[in-house]
């Protein structure tokens, strides 16, 4: 049998760090970074005798996430201890939720590989605390523990095994990320580990109804790595099965450098964790009023923004979808549109040059280093005729490297458009003289020759000549 006879099955467990000001069970700051062990207190360092108190904001944010993903919100919920030992977990258990998660039975809408709408089911969203970080000393000096992250609140969103390709998994994760960004429960900065996914992969023969045995790759925090890892792992499993082997249920580590997965440990079952209700915390009871209040306060979600962009700005469905796929892009669009009043131009810049550069540099939208004001300035400089759009593209490239006032950039680089008639006429005459063949082609009726001559003049002026004036003057000179 060949690879095409197999189907890939994927389920994701996505951890998002909540952007509450303080940790889940103490009042230490959740801020990323900081000197090791400075965002800590006796509670998150698990000193004996300390007691946790649940941060109400964590519940509110999790309910928001649940409502935005169409979950049922539990009126009755609780915290449980998940027992395991690891040096970054000072209590030797993690406070999580076991059988009574806050949110269940959600759905997230994505597109499948053919572009058709597809519903991915969310099993649950629960709250839990993050662990600390181990800094391994590569020179053999042991490992140092930093507990700044210990007790930072997380929501874990568990999907059903509904995903069927690496790209589909990527689209699902992007959608979930964008929803969390829109409702502002997490900054979802993957590079800082605010959003990370455990990726479960299995394969089965097409037409088979039972799922195959899955393997799990933990803590993945880049889209590119996730796609590569799923494709590698699915192929590895197919090879094993084709050779008559069996898949072991295990936890794997993806190595981005070698592009391979490695075995870490056998998979534990829920029973290994000896879950039990945390006796230090009271149960969580939510009233209908509380939930309805949060529902009413939910901000605009991507779907509704998309529709609004189509109506208000007359953008195509595709453009509106691309813009709203990321809250950062969408906010950049709205801010720049408000200043320029030119939705089309702003959308074009974001969807063509800016998106292209993001792709080339493998950056996410939240890593765009310049502001809406700076983008707006570029557009105004074109409208005023100070720079050509060819130069504007170069300005945007510079903005990515060294964001500052675009006017300063063009001054420094000497990129101001030449709109001086005398200077342009000089270039036009020079080009006409140097290209007698094109001149006679044009005079003989070949319109295309004009484009060539204009192009030559642009080259001559390094893209700085005003294109309308060039066209005009060539026509005048050639009709003499
Ligand atoms: P845990 O990993 O903590 O044991 P679960 O048993 O709930 O948790 O499963 C976790 C994830 O694994 C879920 O996202 C689920 O969709 C996915 N999953 C379960 N079975 C399979 C399978 N056969 N193939 C791929 N993914 C699977
Ligand atoms: Zn603390
Ligand atoms: Mg898991």
Give me the DSSP letters along 241-288.
Answer: HHTT-----EEEEEETTTTEEEEEEEPPPGGGGT-EE-TTSPPEE--H
Report the pLDDT value the prediction gives residue 151, as an integer from 0 to 100. Answer: 97
Residues 457 and 396 in one domain: no
Do 446 and 370 share a structural domain?
A: no
| Total count of domains within the chain | 3
Give residue 41 CA to ligand 2 midpoint distance, Å: 4
Same domain, 121 and 179: yes
Structural domain containing residue 406: 300-413
Tell me: do 337 and 214 sit in the same domain.
no
pLDDT at 471: 87
Q: What is the CATH number of the domain that holds 452?
A: 1.10.10.410
Mutation choice for ligand 1 from 200, 264, 272, CB with most ligand atoms inside 8 A: 200
Q: CA geometry: angle at 24 spanning 21 and 25, to 5°?
A: 120
Q: Does one domain contain both 284 and 320?
A: no
Å from CA of 16 to ligand 3 middle: 15
Does residue 456 form part of some domain?
A: yes
pLDDT value, residue 268: 67
What's the confidence (pLDDT) of residue 270? 64
108 contact partners, CB below 8 Å, separation of at least 6: 69, 70, 119, 120, 122, 159, 172, 175, 176, 179
In the prediction, which pLDDT does 462 show? 81
- Return residues with CB closer than 5 A to ligand 3 (ion): 13, 198
Q: Which of 256, 289, 322 is the last residue of a domain?
A: 289
Task: From 413, 430, 463, give the residue that closes a domain.
Answer: 413
Ligand nearest to the CA of 234: 1
Q: Is residue 340 part of a domain?
A: yes
CA of 219 to the centre of ligand 3 (A): 10
Residue of 10, 12, 13 with the most ligand 1 atoms within 8 Å of its CB, for mutation: 13
What's the pLDDT at 267?
65
Q: How far is the CA of 121 from the centre of ligand 1 (A)?
A: 13
318 and 172 together in one domain: no
Bridge pairing between strands 215-220 and 250-255: parallel
Q: Which of 413, 436, 467 is the last residue of a domain?
A: 413
> Looking at the domain assignment, is residue 272 inside a domain?
yes
User: What ligand is nearest to the CA atom of residue 161?
Assistant: 1
Examine the domain organization and report whether 77 and 221 are in the same domain.
Answer: yes
Same-domain pairing of 23 and 85: yes
Q: Tell me, yes or no, whether 311 lies in a domain.
A: yes
Residue 370 lies in a domain: yes
Mean pLDDT by 10 residues, the chain (480 residues): 90 98 97 93 96 98 97 98 93 97 97 94 98 83 91 98 98 95 93 94 95 94 94 96 93 90 75 92 97 95 92 93 91 93 93 94 90 93 85 92 90 79 88 92 88 90 82 87
Q: Which residues line ligand 1 (CB under 6 A)?
A: 9-13, 158-161, 200-202, 211-212, 214, 216
Same domain, 244 and 341: no
């Amino acid at each position: 049998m060949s690879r095409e006879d197999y189907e890939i099955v994927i389920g994701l467990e996505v951890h998002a760090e909540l952007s509450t000001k303080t940790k889940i069970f103490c009042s230490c700051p959740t801020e990323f970074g900081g000197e090791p062990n400075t965002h800590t207190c006796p509670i998150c360092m698990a000193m004996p005798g300390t007691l946790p108190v649940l941060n109400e904001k964590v519940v509110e944010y999790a309910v928001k996430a649940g409502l935005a993903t169409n979950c049922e919100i539990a009126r009755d919920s609780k915290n449980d201890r998940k027992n395991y030992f690891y040096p970054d977990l000072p209590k030797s258990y993690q406070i999580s939720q076991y059988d009574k998660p806050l949110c269940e039975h959600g759905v997230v809408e994505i597109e499948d590989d053919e572009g058709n709408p597809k519903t991915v089911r969310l099993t649950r969203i629960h709250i839990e605390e993050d662990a600390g970080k181990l800094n391994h000393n590569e020179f053999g000096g042991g490992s140092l523990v930093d507990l700044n992250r210990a007790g930072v609140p997380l929501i874990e969103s568990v999907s059903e095994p509904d995903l069927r390709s690496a790209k589909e998994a990527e689209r699902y994760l992007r959608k979930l990320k964008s929803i969390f960004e829109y409702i502002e429960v997490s900054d979802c900065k993957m590079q800082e580990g605010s959003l990370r996914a455990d990726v479960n992969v299995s394969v089965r023969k097409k037409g088979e109804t039972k799922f195959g045995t899955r393997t799990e790759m933990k803590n993945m925090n880049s889209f590119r790595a996730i796609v590569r890892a799923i494709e590698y792992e699915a192929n590895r499993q197919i090879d094993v099965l084709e050779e008559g082997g069996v898949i072991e249920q295990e936890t794997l580590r993806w190595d981005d450098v070698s592009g391979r997965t490695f075995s870490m440990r056998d998979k534990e079952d829920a029973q290994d964790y000896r879950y039990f209700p945390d006796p230090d915390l009271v149960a969580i009871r939510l009233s209908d009023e509380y939930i309805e209040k949060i529902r009413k306060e939910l901000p605009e979600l991507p779907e509704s923004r998309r529709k609004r962009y189509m109506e208000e700005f007359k953008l195509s469905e595709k453009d509106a979808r691309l813009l709203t796929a990321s809250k950062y892009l969408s906010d950049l669009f709205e801010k720049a549109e408000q200043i320029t009043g030119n939705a089309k131009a702003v959308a074009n810049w974001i969807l063509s040059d800016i998106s292209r550069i993001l792709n080339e540099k493998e950056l996410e939208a939240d890593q765009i280093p310049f502001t809406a004001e700076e983008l707006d300035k570029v557009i105004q400089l074109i409208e005023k005729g100070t720079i050509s759009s060819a130069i504007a593209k170069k300005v945007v490239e510079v903005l990515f490297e060294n964001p500052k006032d675009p006017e300063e950039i063009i001054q420094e680089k000497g990129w101001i458009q030449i709109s001086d008639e005398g200077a342009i006429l000089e270039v036009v005459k020079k080009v006409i003289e140097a290209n007698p063949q094109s001149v006679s082609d044009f005079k003989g009726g070949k319109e295309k020759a004009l484009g060539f001559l204009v192009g030559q003049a642009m080259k001559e002026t390094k893209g700085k000549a005003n294109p309308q004036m060039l066209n005009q003057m060539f026509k005048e000179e050639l009709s003499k």
